Amino acid sequence: MAIVGRIVTPHGERWAAWTDRGLVAVGARRAEVVTTARALGLRESDGPDGATVLTEVDWRAMPGGFRGRVLKACTRIPAGQVVTYADLAHAAGSAGAARAVGSAMAANPVPVIIPCHRVIRADGWLGAYSAGGTAMKARMLRAESVAVYGDRIG
């Protein structure tokens, strides 16, 4: 069973689905969160909206293999710091898999909690952000005191 409700994150309110062990999906719209929860084989139930801030991830519901290693490595990027897709590939034990890291980040089921916004291109450009676009990624990084100028790290 997944509880579905709105949560408060450092970057604003989001819809979320969580189990007794933690988050399984985060998104801008309730429908996308419910769809992800159902894809994991979970039934949804309405939960309380608002003030709860959840930070734990239910890793039982997260992808395994390479994608899972990338998501776990991403959780170790401290606020206010960025790494490149290549750096994250190396941290996940797959040096040279920078493009695959990009795909894993695009499919991150719990953005904000697994901070894929902290992963950038090697040339300093921000790269894409599936949870709100490049402007949202820049705004989130600036909120963490990262020097961002336009779509690039300064």
Radius of gyration from C-alpha coordinates of the chain: 15
Domain at 114, CATH number: 1.10.10.10
Question: Could you say which of 57, 116, 138, 140 is catalytic?
Answer: 116
Distance CA 43, CA 84 (A): 36
pLDDT reported for residue 8: 77
Nearby residues of 70 by Cβ (< 8 Å), 6 or more positions away: 88, 89, 92, 94, 100, 101, 104, 105
Q: Are residues 136 and 123 in the same domain?
A: yes
Distance CA(125)–CA(112), nearest Å, equals: 19
The residue type of 101 is V
Q: Are residues 71 and 38 in the same domain?
A: no
| 101 in the same domain as 53 | no
Query: What would the pLDDT profile of 60-98 be if each residue is shown by its tens digit?
Result: 888 899 999 999 999 999 989 999 999 999 999 999 999
Verify that 70 and 143 share a domain, yes or no.
yes
Q: What's the domain range around 115?
A: 62-153
What distance in Å separates the CA atoms of residue 154 and residue 147, rounded to the nearest whole number? 5
Cβ–Cβ < 8 Å for 49, 136? no
* In a shared domain, residues 53 and 95: no
Decide: 73 and 88 in contact? Cβ < 8 Å: yes
How many domains does one find in the chain? 2
Per-residue pLDDT of the chain (154 residues; tens, 9 = 90+): 778 888 877 777 888 888 887 788 888 888 888 887 777 776 666 665 543 445 678 888 888 999 999 999 999 999 899 999 999 999 999 999 999 999 999 999 888 788 999 999 999 999 999 888 899 899 889 988 999 998 999 7
For residues 36 and 81, state if they share a domain. no
> What is the rounded CA–CA span in Å between residue 100 and residue 85?
9
Last residue of a domain, one of 10, 30, 59: 59
Which residue type, as a one-letter code, is found at position 47? Answer: G
The pTM of the full predicted model, rounded to 2 decimals, is 0.75
* Whether residue 89 sits in one domain with residue 44: no
Regarding whether 80 and 29 lie in a shared domain, the answer is no
In the listed set 59, 81, 100, which residue is the last one of a domain according to the structure? 59
Residues 19 and 70 in one domain: no
Distance of CA 151 to the CA centre of its chain: 19
Q: Is 74 an active-site residue?
A: no
Q: At what angle do helices 98-106 and 65-74 cross, to 10 degrees?
A: 80
Are residue 36 and residue 97 in the same domain, yes or no? no
